[in-house]
Structure 1
């Protein structure tokens, strides 16, 4: 049967939103997502395949290091899951309930909560990316809260980032999704803010201001 009911999916999303609210109240200015689990690149590939209308084989990678036979079994399992549940790409909540896990649904809520609470959420690897995709499909305005950190070496990670119109800050062939890429990108955000807030002008540096040459 399906991984969860629609009501359970809504509950998991609500838990993610509540978590962001609590973090905002405790003074957080930015949150980074990540997850740890076994088999969750499988659920993510299934959800991404349906939402993006792409073949399962294209959206499925080796996760933590599957053999060829293991990869084929994974693709087969996803194809059977999709065939059994016939999810509708136009119904992201239904896709999440039928093929996702509570981890993806909760993370989806974190991105929605970020948009609601005006708190930037730094997305990590493939699974975070699929959760962000679910959030944006449920509420397109949530896109403003999503910031990409790195691009995972999972084949579908690039496709998901493209669908979100996000560019990764770090391309380092990371096979990690537990928040490492998101945390590694934080100094880059700090540096960008330092330039934005504290950079001196040409005049202060004694440089002749640039005048466009027509």
Structure 2
């Protein structure tokens, strides 16, 4: 708990003065004001995060947390649980969806075993296993409060290690069969939504079984009674270890003034947990895409963040966040490479 408390205490506000200066310069670049849309907003936000008028995002990584879920035994997934470990091994091989997109974006993929059901001994996978998957949240808490805190602190530790290496742009990714179930539960609890409103098909779960999936989530919430205002309580009762890890990365990014790109639905659920722990973390997050998962838009609205891309994606792994790396980098290039009207000798 000490690391989490210390991290939260370090999270301050964005630098309004530098943001104002950056906005003034961006408005005077050789273009009509506002004509580059969200690119302009992104670079202004980056300047406020980093306290630098010319921020850089040339050292990028996506941290992918892998974990299993006890609620799998309720029949809420279309794929066997063994896929979690298989895909985690594939991250090392560089052959998954996020790996392909990360190569294009010149970003590193950092896989972490934070709670896979099996032992995974493979060079390239960071072993920070807290337990062999969560407990079945439909029968009791997914984990203890102490385990939930530990998952967040693992995320903080790994993010800070990467930041010390010079990372200046991070993203959150995950792997865990049926982890849309706890994500839907988190959004349901925080937003006060009926589970059926935020329960989607995840990894191709049959449409005709969605009522069952929603009923399992409803039962988990009724049994555990998570406090909507206590992010740690929500995480421990209806969350996942990988969700805690991602929340930790977001908190560490904010504490160290490093932007964190949020992936889709599951990462957004993690962002909601981080936000409940410390609301100022929201200012350090860059939402990437509108996930096609049912509860994603509601999750983003709860955060008050509007994603930049609408690609009908729902893979997870951090794939949408890594795709958005290109947009974030484009915003930085706009700021660094364009000249102002004054520099061009044009009076307007």
Q: Which TM class, normalised by the smaller chain length?
A: over 0.9
Q: Distance in 2 between matches of 1:163 and 1:134?
A: 11
The equivalent residue for 1:212 is none
Over the residues paired in the alignment, what is the CA RMSD in angstroms?
1.3
Aligned pairs for 1:108-123 within 5 A: 108-123=247-262
8 Å contact kept, 1:20–1:117: no
C-alpha displacement of 1:188:
1.0
Which aligned segments of 4 or more residues in structure 1 are displaced greater than 3 angstroms? 203-208
Q: TM-score normalised to the size of structure 1?
A: 0.93
8 Å contact kept, 1:35–1:178: yes
C-alpha displacement of 1:50:
0.2
The equivalent residue for 2:173 is 34
Greater share of residues in strand: 2
1:107 pairs, out of 215, 222, 246, with 246
Structure 1 residue 166 corresponds to structure 2 residue 305: yes
Gaps of 5+ in 1: 210-214
1:117-166 C-alpha deviation (Å, 9 max, x unpaired): 11111000100001011101110111122110111011211111111111
2:190 pairs, out of 40, 51, 55, with 51
Gaps of 5+ in 2: 1-139
Aligned pairs for 1:1-214 within 5 A: 1-205=140-344, 207-209=346-348
Q: Distance in 2 between matches of 1:157 and 1:122?
A: 15
Q: TM-score normalised to the size of structure 2?
A: 0.58
- Give aligned pairs, total: 209
Q: Distance in 1 between matches of 2:299 and 2:163?
A: 27
Greater share of residues in helix: 1
